[in-house]
Structure 1
């Protein structure tokens, strides 16, 4: 592991010790990371544009007409107090006027699932939304393939992402440390980071790709087994939506952890590759390798 050690102060000087600068993120990790950031932004907003064409989710092969398999619906309705937006989840209806179902200025509201500011394009344009979604979807898949090949070649996958028995043993302590905002800056990821990234790379990313393919009639003809795996096109659409929500939650937590752990150090590692470790981290991690 490349390392650039800076002079650190001793406790006798009364000044805080600095850890070493280590080359933590390869060029492939950094390029694919920022590619995913761009792709996921456009995929989310164009996906909401597509979803607005039919703002409801079902379980099964088809949407319900003579049967009820709906689990989520966003819409608007007339009430004694005028039109109102609503969101129904598992039969429980909530008034979401101004956010979901009905939004915009009171004099000229927009009756649409997600508001225009949250979609690409901002106006109703399903065709353009689909073009943008598929374009960035294939870039997203290509970046994942590049990351996987490079991570296998340079050892990043085994060293930083794959969970090992010692990570599982250290996981409760690491969760407790994160809960108290006590962050350990090492040359490799912490057990909680490994668990999170493993879940994203090997659960959420494959799920959102495969369920997206399952919704394609062309892929249904080429790979009909996808419909069997996910229990129908509507179930695949529901899983696709849920995984999108989980990825948004991961992004929010990820940004919060970057800010709390030291944004300059974290951003430097994803721009230049160099990361400052905690004092003594190199010695401690070498002892555990």
Structure 2
């Protein structure tokens, strides 16, 4: 995951600097536009989604939920104790005191009794209506950007060439894991096996999954596409899967940023801003290539 995200062509600059590899036009304009669109959208989707989650900070498996059911897998709430209110989080039946973070947060003289702390929600105060408006607005922009990316990547061959893992990638995976563990990155035209597998899972699995589970929570979409409820096992299960997919995307983002920093942030950012990427010295320049 060391070499920035998505899309490439194979043109190089006319001259290679001594001791450095060629400058490759690696990221297409469609890749760059959709990449930064997703960055903005996911920021607002994450924190507005946590605002929505706070309206009922409990996740369930199954079609129904409520006091008479015992199918919750995650719950964040405040409880009264002999020493005063405390924040409590329950995960798969295991209960943890999370005072100050989940269930109860904020200053001791004026605590906030909600699942996620206000610092992690948009708006920062409790406002479900505004949170939903922000979430749906950026959600549809996110969907549009994904459709544009799929069409462009199919037409220019990026999807098949750079993201679909092949047999050679799987065979090279153990060595690539070792190289990443020792921070030895190769800067070339092609994505390494870890990149291919990771980006394939994100763009082809996680992105569609988080969109479809989001649609499943909409009564209007359930009426139009009732098969969504059958696929995801009910609206409450879809909500839980949606939350889990969000956590995986957050983990991907953190690791992605760490790998970008480790691999050379200036080169990586230049690639995603201008399209040009400085390959390693081992990358041979092809005769006749032009910018």
| Residue 39 of structure 2 corresponds to residue 2 of structure 1 | no
Q: Which residue of 2 aligns with 1:14?
A: none
Q: Distance in 1 between matches of 2:85 and 2:283?
A: 60
Shift of 1:5: 4.7
Shift of 1:156: 1.2
Q: Distance in 2 between matches of 1:267 and 1:79?
A: 51
Match of 1:111 among 103, 110, 113: 113
SS at match of 2:104: coil
Shift of 1:64: 4.0
Shift of 1:95: 0.8
Match of 1:268 among 251, 267, 270: 270
Structural mapping, 1:210-225, within 5 Å = 210-225=212-227
SS at match of 2:106: coil
Q: Which residue of 2 aligns with 1:203?
A: 205
Stretch of structure 1 that moved more, 217-226 or 61-70: 61-70
Q: Distance in 2 between matches of 1:20 and 1:7?
A: 5
Structural mapping, 1:1-289, within 5 Å = 1-9=10-18, 17-282=19-284
SS at match of 2:96: strand
Q: Distance in 1 between matches of 2:105 and 2:285?
A: 56
TM-score (norm 1): 0.94
SS at match of 1:275: strand
* Alignment size in residue pairs: 277
Q: Distance in 2 between matches of 1:199 and 1:282?
A: 30
Q: Distance in 1 between matches of 2:182 and 2:52?
A: 41
Q: Does the 8 Å CA contact 2:22/2:285 hold for their aligned counterparts?
A: no
In the alignment, structure 1 segments of 5+ residues that lack a partner are 10-16, 285-289
TM-score (norm 2): 0.93
Q: Deviations over 1:42-66 (max 9, x none)?
A: 0000000000000000000011433
Q: Does the 8 Å CA contact 1:32/1:143 hold for their aligned counterparts?
A: yes
Larger helix fraction of residues: 1
Shift of 1:96: 0.8
Q: Does the 8 Å CA contact 1:28/1:147 hold for their aligned counterparts?
A: yes
In the alignment, structure 2 segments of 5+ residues that lack a partner are 1-9, 287-291
Q: Distance in 2 between matches of 1:159 and 1:143?
A: 20
Q: Deviations over 1:106-153 (max 9, x none)?
A: 111111111111101111111110000000000000000000111111
Q: Distance in 1 between matches of 2:259 and 2:182?
A: 12
SS at match of 2:89: strand
Greater relative CO, 1 or 2 (CA 8 Å, sep 6+):
2
SS at match of 1:74: strand
SS at match of 1:117: helix
Q: Does the 8 Å CA contact 2:63/2:233 hold for their aligned counterparts?
A: yes
Shift of 1:283: 6.7
Q: Does the 8 Å CA contact 1:186/1:282 hold for their aligned counterparts?
A: no
